[in-house]
């Protein structure tokens, strides 16, 4: 083969491969978020009306509050109850199918809930929850530091560089990962944790009652009634290749992992391919907040 032709062919192939890779990652939507504390909120339109919703991977269905239902003209088709992070049943109304518009994205919520969210501790301008429907239909990168999300089509996504992957379990619109929890020198468990970006906790698990600095505190702080429980400090939490020491967490019956942990990474939720990718950011080595004294 002519050497000049061969070089040109190789160069064209390299350019073609690079262009393909760029196109694969270029097909995404950037959503700028509003950050309050450890929570992220996105602007949402429903029937042409604008609102702010929290991004909550722990919400297995999209949720709106009464103001949204009224202003967007949503139709109630039933009633029932659900359970939240607090105690007791939470009354809900079932709504007809709706579409949440976020930038260029249209998220269909087949069975939305209407719930009074005024007691959840969120800002008064927050009027709903973006839940499992977003994560199940797209690959979602959450960059806490930059207060933004990048959303990819499942077939247009390439795994991020310099990120560690952890298997993601999906069951009935709920997402879980495994973590090893050292409550003390003599007590270690490996538990499945619910992935919950609507929680500001680090890791929540009842085994922390066998940890250090255990004391009574108020738990719930979401849907349902608050209740007296316990919090404490894990000796260590091991998440894939990452190990964190002296981690505060509440003792709850349903283990979970929230934004106090996720804010230390750029997190990519690849629910369609059952992977969670973690790329450390500048917060990775920061100490965990001390347990509340209440």
Region 142-166 average pLDDT: 96
Please tell me the predicted confidence (pLDDT) of residue 81: 76
64: closest CA among 6, 16, 113, 97?
113
Give residue 86's pLDDT.
52
Specify the pLDDT at position 120.
77
Q: What is the pLDDT of residue 231?
A: 87
CA distance 117 to 246: 32
pTM of the model: 0.86
Predicted confidence at residue 115, as pLDDT, reads 93
What are the tens digits of pLDDT across the range 255-292?
999 999 999 999 999 999 999 999 999 999 999 987 55
Q: What is the pLDDT of residue 221?
A: 57
Q: Is pLDDT above 50 for 106?
A: yes
The DSSP symbol for 87 reads B
Question: Of all residues in the chain, what percent carry a pLDDT higher than 70?
Answer: 84
> How confident is the model over 162-170, as a mean pLDDT?
97
Is residue 62 predicted with pLDDT exceeding 80? yes
pLDDT at 291: 57
The pLDDT > 90 percentage for the chain reads 75
> Which residues fall within 8 angstroms of residue 182, CB to CB, at 6 or more apart?
188, 234, 235, 236, 237, 238
Mean of pLDDT over the chain:
87
Of 62-66, 78-82, 192-196, least confident by mean pLDDT is 78-82
Closest-CA residue to 144 (of 228, 231, 63, 55): 55
In this predicted structure, what is the pLDDT of residue 70?
A: 97
The confidence band for 164, taking pLDDT boundaries of 50, 70 and 90, is very high
Given pLDDT bands bounded at 50, 70 and 90, which one contains residue 3? very low
- The domains found in the chain, sorted by start residue, are 28-153 (2.40.70.10), 165-280 (2.40.70.10)
From 99, 80, 101, select the one nearest 91 (Cα to Cα): 80
**DSSP assignment of 3-19, as one string?**
HHHHHHHHHHHHHHHHH
């Amino acid at each position: 083969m002519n050497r000049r032709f061969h070089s040109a062919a190789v160069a064209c192939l390299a350019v073609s491969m690079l262009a393909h890779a760029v196109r694969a990652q270029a097909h995404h939507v950037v959503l700028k978020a509003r950050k309050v504390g450890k929570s992220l909120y996105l602007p949402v339109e429903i029937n042409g009306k604008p609102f702010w919703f929290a991004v909550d991977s722990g919400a297995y269905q999209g949720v709106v509050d009464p103001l949204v239902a009224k202003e967007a003209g949503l139709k109630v088709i039933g009633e029932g109850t659900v359970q939240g992070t607090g105690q007791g049943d939470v009354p809900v109304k079932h709504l007809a199918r709706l579409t949440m518009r976020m930038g260029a994205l249209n998220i269909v919520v087949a069975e939305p809930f209407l719930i009074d969210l005024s007691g959840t501790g969120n800002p008064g301008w927050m009027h709903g929850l973006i839940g499992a429907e977003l994560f199940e239909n797209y690959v979602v990168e959450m960059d806490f530091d930059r207060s933004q999300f990048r959303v990819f089509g499942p077939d247009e996504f390439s795994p991020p560089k310099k990120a560690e992957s952890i298997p993601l379990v999906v069951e009935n619109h709920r997402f879980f990962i495994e973590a090893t929890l050292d409550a003390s020198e003599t007590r270690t468990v490996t538990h499945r944790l619910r992935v919950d970006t609507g929680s500001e906790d680090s890791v929540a698990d009842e085994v922390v009652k066998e940890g250090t600095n255990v004391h009574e505190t108020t738990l719930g702080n979401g849907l349902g009634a608050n209740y007296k429980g316990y919090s404490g400090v894990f000796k260590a939490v091991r998440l894939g290749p990452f190990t964190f020491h002296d981690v505060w967490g509440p003792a709850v019956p349903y283990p979970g992992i929230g934004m106090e942990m996720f804010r230390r990474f750029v997190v990519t939720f690849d629910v369609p391919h059952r992977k969670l990718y973690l790329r450390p950011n500048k917060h990775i080595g920061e100490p965990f907040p001390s347990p509340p004294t209440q």
